[in-house]
Amino acid sequence: MTALRISPLTVVALPLLLFGLNTAFAQDPEAPATDGKALYLSYQCWQCHGYEGQGGAAARLAGKQYPYAAFARFVRHPNLMPAYPPNLLSDDQLRRIFDFVRSIPEPPPLEDIPVLRENK
């Protein structure tokens, strides 16, 4: 599978780099949105959902086949996570994040991971 490869430095550097980009968006709504993966990182989704959407403090996103409407509902009116309203995260940006989450490749099957397979 293709895993996200993020150096420890990037963990901090990328959001800080994108801080500037995001500030630019706020000033110029016509500026092109970055791709979903970058938004996923800059909006800190990874902090609770993991770099690969595997879950963590919050639910796993990878591999879930929620329709966009359900996904948007969880983001706009969440029960547990912080709410992200449209004036902070536009519909377009949310859609791009959704597309990224849907595109996260499936991890290896259980059978291909010996230590998990042996513990079935």
Partner 1 sequence: MKSNDKGDRVNRREFLSSAAAAGVAAASLTNAQSAAAQQTGQSSAATPPTEAQLAMEYDDPSDYSAEEIDEYFVKYPGSDFMVDVIKALDIDYITTNPGSSFRGIHESIVNYGGNSKPELLTCPHEEQAIAMAHGYAKVAGKPLAMLAHGTVGFQHAAMAVYNAWCDRVPVVILGGNHYDATERRAGVEWAHSAQDAAIVVKDYVKWDDTPHSLQHFAESMMRAYKIAMTPPMGPVVVMIDGHLQEAEVGHQSLRIPAMSPTQPPVGDANSIAEAARWLVEAESPVIAADRMAHDQRGIDRLVELAEALQAPVVNLRGRLNFPNTHHLSQGSGELARADVILGLEVNDPWSLVNSLPDRVHRVPKRRGGADTRVISIGVNDLFIKSNYQNFQRYFAADLSIAGDAQATLPALTEAVKAQMSRARSRTNAERKQRWQESHAKRRAASLDAARYAWDASPVSTARVYMELWQLVRDRDWAMVSEDRQQRQWANRLWPMEKAYQFIGGSGGAGVGYGAPAAVGGALAHRAEGRLAINVQRDGDMMYVPGVFWTAAHHRIPLLTVTHNNRGYHQEFMHLQRMASRRLRGMDGSSLVGNTLSDPEPDLAKIAAGMGCWSTGPITEPGDVGPAIKRALDVIDNGEPAFVDVVCQPR
3-state secondary structure at position 18 = helix
State which of positions 63-82 bind partner 1 (CB under 8 A).
Answer: 63, 79-80, 82
Site size toward partner 1, by CB under 8 A? 51
Cα–Cα distance measured from residue 90 to residue 62, given in angstroms and rounded to the nearest whole number: 22
By CB under 8 A, residue 90 contacts partner 1: no
Contact 99, 36 (CB under 8 A): yes
Stretch that binds partner 1, among 27-35, 48-56, 66-74, 95-103 (CB under 8 A): 48-56
Which position among 36, 37, 40, 51 is part of the footprint of partner 1 (CB under 8 A)?
A: 51
Contacts 24+ apart (CB under 8 A), 17-22: 18/42
Give the angle 17-103-3 at the CA atoms, nearest 5°.
Answer: 65
Which residues sit at the interface with partner 1, rule CB under 8 A? 1, 3-9, 11-12, 15-16, 18-19, 22-23, 42-44, 46-48, 50-57, 60, 62-63, 79-80, 82-85, 87-89, 107-110, 113, 115-116, 119-120
